[in-house]
Amino acid sequence: METKAGIRVDRKSTIDRNTPLMERKPEWLKISLPQGKQYLDVKEIIARKGLHTICVSGKCPNLSECWGRGTATFMILGDVCTRACRFCNVKTGSPGGIVDRGEPDRLADTIEKMGLKHCVITSVDRDDLEDGGAAFWATTVRRVKEKNPELTIETLIPDFNGVEELVNQVIDSGPNIVSHNMETVRRLTPKVRSRAKYETSLKTVEIIAKSGKVRPKSGMMVGLGETEEEVIETINDLANVGCEVLTIGQYLQPSRKHLGVKEYVSLEQFRKYREIGLEKGFRFVESGPLVRSSYRAERHI
């Protein structure tokens, strides 16, 4: 265990220690290295303002493309998560109830400086806070909107343990889209996720949908050992609770400490999942190897 600035940070426990990274990735999984002036400008602004992005913390394969377009997915409530999901590269530990009260204003200023028309805001899980960070979330969205009145916002939220009142605090703050990821199929949830439960996540999406105030969205990874039937079951479950936007992407192992990739899903299979989702009534289905929950999110407004 490391200690940084008074915060206890646990190193990820090694999962599937004897399962190596798959040796050869398909051609369609080649990722461009970050480069270009726009990328460097975004990097400099974010660093100067002391903000965090899931682009960096989560080792997103689309970082080069998105930052090159001048967009980023901002991560609030710090960069230490109280959960330790076995697919995620974000640091895990106990933030000890510490929050940065200046973060909402810095984020609002940064978005204005970048001239964004749409942004995505996400956060670590903060089970150390009584409300899971819901009030901080609501304050952040309101401050960002006050400073950037023409901006559209997607919030990618934690499950808040399925407490409707807490989810509604974020919804009522005024985002356009509220998303919560299922991440994986029902059978694999206990192995892949930490503390999170399949039914709790499904309930969270249902709360978002039944509010009628925002567009409900969710996402999942494939390549963790799930079957086609299990993916279709998750698609059905989300459709049945009123989810309108779905993202499906290839799981990529961030390091040897994380779960290994069981399969590189074919482009044909991704197309099939997209077709199934559209047939089930989703407004938008983004399905492809490099798709992530906030990839080209501006399309979903």
* Predicted pLDDT at 16: 44
User: What mean pLDDT do residues 27-34 have?
Assistant: 58
Please report whether residue 154 resides in a domain.
yes
* Predicted pLDDT at 298: 76
- Predicted confidence (pLDDT) per residue in 237-248, tens digit: 999 999 999 999
Closest residue by Cα to residue 40 from 62, 16, 68, 10: 68
User: What mean pLDDT do residues 124-140 have?
Assistant: 98
- Predicted confidence (pLDDT) per residue in 77-125, tens digit: 998 999 999 999 889 999 999 999 999 999 999 889 888 888 899 999 9
| CATH number of the domain bearing residue 172 | 3.20.20.70
Residue 281 reports pLDDT greater than 90: yes
Higher pLDDT: 260 or 8? It is 260
* Predicted pLDDT at 290: 87
* Predicted pLDDT at 90: 87
Please report whether residue 93 resides in a domain.
yes
Higher pLDDT: 52 or 198? It is 198
* Predicted pLDDT at 93: 96
The proportion of the chain whose per-residue pLDDT surpasses 70, expressed as a percent, equals 76
User: What mean pLDDT do residues 209-238 have?
Assistant: 98
Please report whether residue 7 resides in a domain.
no
Please report whether residue 22 resides in a domain.
no
HEC string of the chain? CEEECCEEEECCCCCCCCCCCCCCCCHHHCCCCCCCHHHHHHHHHHHHCCCEEHHHHCCCCCHHHHHHCCCCEEEECCCEECCCCCCCCCEEEECCCCCCCCHHHHHHHHHHHHCCCEEEEEECCCCCCCCCCHHHHHHHHHHHHHHCCCCEEEEECCCHHHCHHHHHHHHHCCCCEEECCCECCCCCHHHHCCCCCHHHHHHHHHHHHHHCCCEEEEEEEECCCCCHHHHHHHHHHHHHCCCCEEEEEECCCCCCCCCCCCCCCCHHHHHHHHHHHHHCCCCEEEEECCCCCCCCHHHHC
User: What mean pLDDT do residues 20-30 have?
Assistant: 58
Higher pLDDT: 298 or 274? It is 274
Please report whether residue 66 resides in a domain.
yes
Please report whether residue 133 resides in a domain.
yes
**Rounded mean pLDDT of the chain?**
85
* Predicted pLDDT at 66: 56
Please report whether residue 251 resides in a domain.
yes
What is the amino acid identity at position 195? Answer: R
- 35 — pLDDT class (breaks 50, 70, 90): low
Number of domains the chain contains: 1
Residue 34 reports pLDDT greater than 80: no
Residue 62 reports pLDDT greater than 70: no
Q: Are 280 and 239 in contact (CB under 8 A)?
A: yes
Of 13-22, 158-167, 194-203, where does mean pLDDT reach its minimum?
Answer: 13-22
Higher pLDDT: 36 or 178? It is 178
* Residue 102 domain boundaries: 33-300
Please report whether residue 206 resides in a domain.
yes
